[in-house]
Structures are given as C-alpha cells and as structure tokens.
Structure 1
Amino acid sequence: MKKTLFLLCSAFSLCANNINAITRESASGTRASFVQIFDITKQINNKKLDNINPKIAITNSSGVMLTSVMNDINAIGYVSYGSLNNNIKALNIDNITINYENIKNKNYQISRNFNLIYKEENALIKDFLAFLNSNYACKIINDLKYICLNEKDYTSMNIKGKLTISGSSSISPLMQVLIKEYEKINPNANIDLLSTDSTMGYVSLMNNISDIAMLSRELKTSEKINNIKSFVLAKDAIAIIVNINNKLNNISKDDVKKIYEGKITKWQEIK
C-alpha cells in the first residue's frame, strides 16, 4: 500500500502539499551542526537548545536518511556532502550550489569540521595522525568530496599495534577508506572502525572502549576536559536533500529553519 501511494504521488503529485521533514537522532553530530548552522534553537536559562519540532520524523544514520528521502517524494532531509548520491537531489541554498569549489572558497557556508578526539597520543596514534595530515590522505579526502586541510610529507614509522576508532556515521565512510590505505602502507597496524554517532563515539572514548572518537560537530562545553586532544580531519558541508522527482531546486536558509521548527509544513509556503 505504501509503495502504491508513493507511485501515485510521484505520477500525479497528489501528495505535493505536505512536507515530510526528516531529522537525525539527538545524539547525531550532523544534527548538532545542522541545528547550529541554521539556528534552529530556543533560549532556556541563557542556553541555546535544539528546537527541532518533536513531530518531525527521526532517522538514526546517514544511510537511513538517504533511503528515506529517496522513497518519499515529499521528504526533505540533510546529510554530509560526501554522502550524496544520484538517487536524491541536493538543493541550492540561497541560490548557491553545493559543490567542491563553492565549499572550498566558502561561497557555500553550510559547513562544519570533521573532528577526531583522543586522550593519549601513543606511537601508533601519532603515526596515524601524521598519515591523516599527509598528501596520501589529502588526495583521498578530496576525491571523496571533502576539503583537505593539510598536505604534508609522510614517512611510515611502521608501528605495530591496534587502534579502535568509533563515532560519527557521517565520517565513517571517509575513515574506512583512509584506514584501508594506512594499513596498506603500515601492514603491522590493525585499526577497527565502529560506526555509531558522535555522542556514542565520545562516550566510548571516555570509557576506554575506543582510542579515537569521530565527531561531526564541535565538542560541547561539558565535554571539554583537560586530557582531551583534538584533530581536524577535514572540512565538510551539509546538503539539504529532497526526492529526485521534487521540482524544487533552491531553498532559503530561513525556510529550512522554519520547516524544522514546524512553521512551514507545505511546499507552496516556501518562498
């Protein structure tokens, strides 16, 4: 029945009035960055808190977000730029197209850092971070549509050992490729990757389950403790996505904010 309804909506636009907004779960770093960038907040006791409308549907990963938007002509969501595929459409924001050049030259300003955090810098972590700063890693980062921030020479120390990295599902696809390349150069290293979300990555690091945590947001004030060290892996952008059959190509930053606050609920209300 659901599939039949989707086909009817696609063919005859019977459902074109209602916007089905989708957001990430509260622990998601992508959600935290999205809320901050679009100022979808409310002020309580001098603190800015997440103000995404509680009626908006929630997904628990970038992959689920992409699939949900792909299967619903009335859906709107958001994912990492590097996660985009041909099955969905990325909207222009205030007439600025999301692409590598616009992100790099800061014309497209819906961006955030991919952060790695760790507590202790042992020999393997030090060597792995040096690799992530290298020209090897820079090519991978750029090829996967992220912005490389460093491009230094790298010589492997051929360190033997094991690391566990966990956290953001937005960073995981990039990290998976980087780990594979690092292990080719350093066959004595073994790195496990656990894809969860930014908050769970932080918790795993604090509980000594992981050696490095991936955060697709900045550290919260409550998370900043003396022994936390941070490393910026790359710069990423957040894409606002709709179904590929949606006729909309551009949306204002203000309208995105109003959709997620529940103030705009129909497509014809978009300016």
Structure 2
Amino acid sequence: MKRIVATICAAAMALSLAACSTTDSSSSASTADQSSSASTSSSAATEESADSDFDNSQKISVVTREDGSGTRGAFIELTGVETDEGDMTTVDAQQANSTNNVMTSVAAEEGAIGYISLGSLNETVKGIAVDGVEPTVENVKNGTYTIARPFNIVTNGEVSTLDEVSQDFISYVMSAEGQALITEEGYIGDDAAESYTSTQPSGNIVVGGSSSVSPVMEKLIEAYAEVNPNATVELQTSDSTNGVNFALDGTYTIGMASRELKDSEVEAGAVATVLAMDGIAVVVNNANPITNITMDNLRAVYTGELTTWADVQ
C-alpha cells in the first residue's frame, strides 16, 4: 500500500511541475510578443517622426533639363507640360545639363524634384510613383508606366550607306549580346535579337549626343572593343539635339538621341534606330516622405501652378 501511495504522489508532483513549466512558457511567449509589438511600434514611431521632420510648407525646387535635351523634350510632351503654346516649364526651374547634374541637385536640396533616365536611378535620390505606378523596367515593358521614350542612334541616311566600322558597331549594339548588356544595365533591350558576328573591320568612328544614352553607350563601346580590337570608337557627350545635328553634318559618325526624331530632322536625312527603351523616373530628395504624385500634380509642379509640398499632398 505504501508503494501505491508513493507512486501516486510522484505522479501528482510530475503533473504539477509540467503545469508550472507550461505557465512559464506561455508567460515568456507573451512577454516576447509584447516586446516584438513594442519594437514594431517604436519603429513605426521613428519612421513617423522622421516624416514629420519634413517641412511640407517649404517651396518646391523644380529641376529640369536644359533646352535641347531629349529627356526634357520627352518629359514635357508625355506629361503635358508642353502645350500648343510651347514648353510651359516654370521660369523658376533650375536647369541641369546632364542626368548626373539633376541627381546632384535633387540630392543636395530637401525640397527638390527632378526627372532622370530610369536606367541611371540610384540610391542618391528617390524615384516616386506616378498615378500609383512605380518607375520600374517591368512597368515600362507592360505599358503601365507611361513616362517612357526610346533611346535612338541616329545616322545621316540608312545604316547600309555607312562605313564598315559603323555598320559593324551598330550590328553589335543591336545583336543579342549588345541587347543583353543593355538589359543588364537597367534599360529595356530586345530579347529576340540575333547573335553577333563581326567582320573585324579597322578604323575610327565618333559616337556622340544625349547624356542620358551616354552611360549605356559607354558600356557598349567597351564591350565592342573586346570583340573587335581593330576599331576605335570615341564617345562624346552633349545632348540629343546636337546628337542629331552633328550626325547630319558629319561631326559625329553616329548620333545619340533620347527622344523621337522631329519631322524637320527626318526631312534633313536623319534616320533613327531604336537601341533600347527607357523610362523617365521622377525623383525627389531622400528626406522627402512622398512616394507618389498624380500626373496632374506633376504637371502643375512643372508649370509653376503648385509651389509648395503641402499643395502636392
């Protein structure tokens, strides 16, 4: 009988210890959940505090590209800043003569807004959505992000009339290898392009024009030098208008333009070949909490109708 009583007591003690262990475990889990919740709340509060540091009443500093820029031409056309009366960009806008200068200006001024080639977007500035659509390669491809334009190489006449080096270089740019490099650099190449076969010509050519096209063209020229070391391709950066005009007058063997050709340029003999598609990203300073702007408000900012960030919210 004593053995039976002892066994029962031992079992009772074991159950009691198990119950205490379960209670302690539940208590620890509850404490951890509370700690996690507090951490999340703290993080949210910190983010909200950071946002609250931004002064919405401050004036919007509008940054645009210079006259002659293909990026400016495409932007004002696609956003409606250009009307039948011409380019209505506010006279108060700062003019930057390159993609890098736009990013530098926006990164340096908390209240600034600008626009750049999507392929050049980096962490120094913040790209924002337009009408709720993010500026991404995929959204440009599927047509939901509508502020997009072609990157063109421009020649005086058909490509077939050019010298052998120019034809070979253009063949490389438009090949599967060249288009894959374009895609790798963050632009939109042709996935169906055919493989490249070089004729290994020798000679020198000059490619020049748009500062938006220039970064990816530099990569293409470097890659071409590896497959055809017999040729030398010099790169000169200016703007799209000079890219077209200098291709026509022979200063550039091949021009670069980050926009469609004008009727007058086509009539003068300019021929455009689309080497890639590119979005135009609207960018703000990283301290600005804004993540989206409507097309109407974007247009109003650039025409000077909206002048403070409070107007845009």
Q: Indicate whether the TM-score tops 0.5.
A: yes
Task: Give the Cα–Cα distance (whole angstroms) in 2 for the partners of residues 146 and 14 of structure 1.
Answer: 35
The corresponding residue for 2:298 is 256
In the TM superposition, structure 1's runs of 4+ consecutive aligned residues that sit over 6 Å from their partners are none
Segment of structure 1 superposing worse, 67-76 or 195-204: 195-204
Q: TM-score, normalised by structure 2?
A: 0.79
Task: Give the Cα–Cα distance (whole angstroms) in 2 for the partners of residues 265 and 40 of structure 1.
Answer: 15
Pair 1:40-2:81 in alignment = yes
Following TM superposition, by how much is the alpha carbon of 1:16 offset from its aligned partner in structure 2, in angstroms? 4.7
Q: TM-score, normalised by structure 1?
A: 0.91
The corresponding residue for 2:145 is 108
Pair 1:23-2:64 in alignment = yes
Bigger fraction of residues in helix = 2
Pair 1:221-2:258 in alignment = no
The corresponding residue for 1:137 is 178
Paired residue type of 1:30 = T
Correspondence 1:52-91 to 2 at 5 A? 52-91=89-128
Unaligned runs of 5+ in 1: 1-9
Paired residue type of 2:233 = I
Structure 2 counterpart SS, 1:52: coil
CA contact (8 A) 2:56 2:309 kept: no
Task: Give the Cα–Cα distance (whole angstroms) in 2 for the partners of residues 227 and 247 of structure 1.
Answer: 47
Structure 2 counterpart SS, 1:91: strand
Correspondence 1:49-198 to 2 at 5 A? 49-119=86-156, 120-149=161-190, 150-198=192-240
Render the CA deviation track for 1:126-152: whole Å, top value 9, x for unaligned: 111111111111221111111002521
Structure 1 counterpart SS, 2:245: helix
Paired residue type of 2:116 = V
Q: Is the alpha carbon distance of 1:11 and 1:196 closer, same or farther for their aligned partners in structure 2, counting shifts above 3 Å?
A: farther
Task: Give the Cα–Cα distance (whole angstroms) in 1 for the partners of residues 136 and 82 of structure 2.
Answer: 27
Structure 2 counterpart SS, 1:237: strand
Q: Is the alpha carbon distance of 1:229 and 1:64 closer, same or farther for their aligned partners in structure 2, counting shifts above 3 Å?
A: same
Which one of the candidate residues 245, 258, 278 is aligned to 1:203?
245
Task: Give the Cα–Cα distance (whole angstroms) in 1 for the partners of residues 269 and 64 of structure 2.
Answer: 32
CA contact (8 A) 1:16 1:74 kept: no
The corresponding residue for 2:17 is none
The alignment yields a C-alpha RMSD, in angstroms, of: 1.7
CA contact (8 A) 1:115 1:216 kept: yes
Task: Give the Cα–Cα distance (whole angstroms) in 2 for the partners of residues 226 and 53 of structure 1.
Answer: 32
Task: Give the Cα–Cα distance (whole angstroms) in 1 for the partners of residues 57 and 206 of structure 2.
Answer: 46
The corresponding residue for 1:6 is none
Structure number with bigger Rg: 2
Render the CA deviation track for 1:135-174: whole Å, top value 9, x for unaligned: 1112211111110025211111101111101100000000
Structure 1 counterpart SS, 2:251: coil
Count of equivalent residues? 259
Q: Taking every aligned residue pair, what percent have the same amino acid on both sides?
A: 34
Structure 2 counterpart SS, 1:224: helix
Segment of structure 1 superposing worse, 239-248 or 201-210: 201-210
CA contact (8 A) 2:218 2:235 kept: yes
Q: Is the alpha carbon distance of 1:260 and 1:178 closer, same or farther for their aligned partners in structure 2, counting shifts above 3 Å?
A: same
Structure 1 counterpart SS, 2:68: coil
Paired residue type of 1:78 = Y
Task: Give the Cα–Cα distance (whole angstroms) in 1 for the partners of residues 130 and 83 of structure 2.
Answer: 23
Bigger fraction of residues in strand = 1
